[in-house]
Amino acid sequence: MKKERHTHIFALLERIGRLLTMEAHAEGLLPVHWEALRYLQRANRFSMTAAALTAYLGSTKGTVSQTLKALESKGLVKKRVKTNDRRSNHLSLTAKGRNLLRRDPLSDTVKAIEQLGTSTQTELNNGLEDLLSARLAMQNRQPFGQCRDCRYFAKRHPDGEPHYCLLLKETIAESETDSICFEQQPG
Amino acid sequence: MKKERHTHIFALLERIGRLLTMEAHAEGLLPVHWEALRYLQRANRFSMTAAALTAYLGSTKGTVSQTLKALESKGLVKKRVKTNDRRSNHLSLTAKGRNLLRRDPLSDTVKAIEQLGTSTQTELNNGLEDLLSARLAMQNRQPFGQCRDCRYFAKRHPDGEPHYCLLLKETIAESETDSICFEQQPG
DNA sequence: TCCTTTAGTATCGAGTCGAAACTAGTATTA
DNA sequence: TAATACTAGTTTCGACTCGATACTAAAGGA
């Protein structure tokens, strides 16, 4: 940890990422399949499309199309043509897909995170957020942050009335405010 | 960041890892090729073998054998049969390999790390180290830490005499103390 | 209406990946 | 010493990713 500390941090990130990938060969799925399932679990209803997933993964639409085809054929994901734009599909997890996510091979890593001290968690959280947003900004990629941290999010009174998205001009349920969105802009 | 903070931290790690992988398609190499080159740059002389690389990556020997064959055919890595154990190869980067590492597509991420504040760097460093060592311990994997942090490392006086590895019973040059080792045990 | 853009699919070739069978040195033990 | 077990690495196989490219089809402008 003497000189070149940034290189050391990079190596840690790289190795953790590699180990996560290698562990994610499970239940007959490949790493990218699990990532797609997890994405769909975390995305809000506007972001459950192949295009949004492509941007999230930093992949290409051809590859993502293949991935989704595999997941659909296994009965884990369902496509439904959108009524307002018939080019586009709304993706959703099936009950089987949600069920399978309970056996996510990477949940051991989540447990390892839980076992860190509270202050370590906070520091790690903030460090990773800073790094990710810096890196994403360098490439003009979307952050995929949560609704509630978005500049377009209009919070309503706690009683009754739902929240609202000023960009997409749609109401947002309380339960959706933690979901991630491809249009999110922190602010 | 309300509840389920560990899940959020996990998602950050996963996405950073994915983006690193996707960026590492460059110079005609695949992500795992760059990882192997970086490993060879950081490994000490005892750890420059296919078996050590396999353990580091959490991969299998067949896959790593393929990877090394590809790198050798591109003239980036050289294999030399070890004289003491003729089953085993000593791997080394060629001049061309070292040269190519200067065009590592992931060096932009290292730059992004450099741009973080000093205290953020420290916190990120410590958080990632804690997490990685916890996770590795759960699976009985080798940490691949640095010589200088190893329980078998006997530090010599700063003048003259070289350092020494109590496990492998070999001298360690000052320049090697930052390198990573497949036998390293923190202590 | 023509033209462009956008969402997604289909197909190709190179190469990963895990699994399993294999070769060939080395170490153990009878 | 000879049989046996173990270890380092290679080879081959099939499934699948991945980027690239060409494609279909719907939406949106001019």
CA distance A76 to A98: 8
Does A125 sit within 8 Å of B1, measured CB to CB? yes
pLDDT at residue A160 tops 80: no
Between positions 25 and 64 of B, the ones with CB within 8 A of A are 35, 38, 42, 56-59
Does B58 sit within 8 Å of A18, measured CB to CB? yes
**pLDDT for the residue numbered B175:** 87
Q: Are A8 and A1 in contact (CB under 8 A)?
A: yes
A2 contact partners, CB below 8 Å, separation of at least 6 = B178
**pLDDT for the residue numbered A168:** 87
B7 contact partners, CB below 8 Å, separation of at least 6 = A110
Interface membership of A170 toward B (CB under 8 Å): no
The residue of chain A nearest to residue B108, with distances taken between CA atoms, is A135
CB of B74 lies under 7 Å from some atom of strand D? no
Does A22 sit within 8 Å of B17, measured CB to CB? no
Task: Give the residue-averaged pLDDT of A143-154.
Answer: 92
Residue, of B2 and A166, whose pLDDT is higher: A166
- Beta partners for B26? B29
The residue of chain B nearest to residue A22, with distances taken between CA atoms, is B58
The residue of chain B nearest to residue A56, with distances taken between CA atoms, is B15
Contacts of A174 in chain B (CB under 8 A): none
Residue of B15, B37, B18 lying closest to B91 (CA atoms):
B37
CA distance A94 to A72: 9
Phi-psi region of B69 (alpha: psi -120 to 50; beta: other; left: phi over 0): alpha
pLDDT in tens, A50-84: 999 999 999 999 999 999 999 999 999 999 999 98
A19, two tokens: 């180990």
Residue type, A165: C
CA distance B16 to B98: 25
Location of structure tokens 């369902």? A78
CA distance A50 to A90: 8
Does B109 sit within 8 Å of A120, measured CB to CB? no
Does A127 sit within 8 Å of B127, measured CB to CB? yes
Q: Are B61 and B50 in contact (CB under 8 A)?
A: yes
- Taking the CA of residue A89 and the nearest CA in chain B, the distance in Å comes to 23
**pLDDT for the residue numbered A92:** 95
CA distance A140 to A131: 14
**pLDDT for the residue numbered A83:** 92
Between positions 130 and 149 of B, the ones with CB within 8 A of A are 130-132, 134-136, 138, 141, 144
Residue type, B86: R
Q: Which residues of A78-111 are buried (b: 16+ CB within 10 A; e: fewer)?
A: ebeeeeeeeeebebebeeebeebbeebbbeebbe
The protein residue nearest C26 (Cα–C1') is: B85
Between positions 89 and 108 of B, the ones with CB within 8 A of A are 106, 108
- Beta partners for A164? A154, A171
> CA distances (Å), B150 to each of B42, B153, B170, in order?
16, 5, 14
Under the banding of pLDDT at 50, 70 and 90, the label for residue A13 is: very high
pTM of the complete model: 0.94
**pLDDT for the residue numbered B122:** 95
**pLDDT for the residue numbered A1:** 47
Location of structure tokens 């202590």? B187
Q: Are A185 and A148 in contact (CB under 8 A)?
A: no
pLDDT in tens, A86-137: 999 999 999 999 999 999 999 999 999 999 999 999 999 999 999 999 999 9
pLDDT at residue A43 tops 60: yes
pLDDT at residue A157 tops 70: no
What is the full per-residue pLDDT of chain B (187 aa) written as tens digits? 445 889 999 999 999 999 999 999 999 999 999 999 999 999 999 999 999 999 999 999 999 999 999 999 999 999 999 999 999 999 999 999 999 999 999 999 999 999 999 999 999 999 999 999 999 999 889 999 999 999 999 888 666 778 888 888 888 988 889 999 999 999 8
Phi, psi of A81 (to 5 degrees): -60, 135
Across the A:B interface, residue pairs with CB atoms under 8 Å apart total 166
Report residues 52-71 of B contacting strand D, contact meaning Cβ closer than 7 Å.
61-62, 65-66, 68-69
> CA distances (Å), B42 to each of B49, B156, B161, in order?
13, 22, 23
Under the banding of pLDDT at 50, 70 and 90, the label for residue A39 is: very high
